[in-house]
Amino acid sequence: MAVRLLFPTHVFHRNLLQEGLDDSRGVSEEYLGMLKDEMDAMRKRDPVGRQLSNAYTGWQSKDGCESSPIFQKLINRIEHLFYDEVFPFHGLNPQIAHMKLGNCWANINDFLAWNKPHLHNGCWYSGVFYIHADGDEGCFTAVDTHAKVVADFPHSPRGATSWDFDPKSGELVLFPSGLMHMVEPNPTKKDRYSVSFNIEMHYDTPTANAGEIENYNPDEFVFDLDERGNPIF
């Protein structure tokens, strides 16, 4: 029997602190420290912030990080990753399809702070970058909202209805804006610092949003099963 994966959700992630990244693609611990200090200053200037998906005592800034000089290096790295990997994966031509980071805001989740399930309407991809996180301050959780989950749907690792990600400093996650997601309560006494953002797309021609992938194989997500039901790649 062949199994075909239909309509997969494509989430891209990379730790920008990882060794071997070109200087124009990665960041340093020192730079993350500078971003953390700037976020502390932002919170001091505006201790109330705004209340959207953030719940309990979580602090969220107003939009505007995209205009701050200190965030420009991070924005540059995000745009590089998008052009390096997301565009080629979807077959978009960067000569006629263009992206830029749109609204961007800062988040500080302290003890028990969390973010309610929500979407980011009006764009293609959204993302989050973790400036200060040890991986135990509450998962980033993606939630499956497909109708199949309300049927007699057995629990299985291959049919999970949610995906948990334990973010650490330097992690950049890009996800479709229509993906339902939330942030679990922070069970620690440590503050986690992150920046969230949306991606704006601009097309030079009416067909510029139509991807063309060289040597595309329509069966790339098709596989057979062995005698135990495991995929054979």
Question: pLDDT tens digits for 130-151?
Answer: 999 999 999 999 999 988 877 8
Contact between 113 and 58 (Cβ < 8 Å): yes
- Which CATH superfamily does the domain covering 9-205 fall into? q2cbj1_9rhob like domain (2.60.120.620)
Closest CA to 72 of 24, 13, 14, 135: 24
Q: What is the pLDDT of residues 2-42, one digit of tens each?
A: 899 999 999 999 999 999 999 899 999 999 999 999 999 99
pTM over 0.85: yes
Sort residue 91 into left (φ over 0), alpha (ψ -120 to 50) or beta.
left
pLDDT in the model for residue 149: 75
Sort residue 161 into left (φ over 0), alpha (ψ -120 to 50) or beta.
alpha
Closest CA to 129 of 106, 100, 163: 106
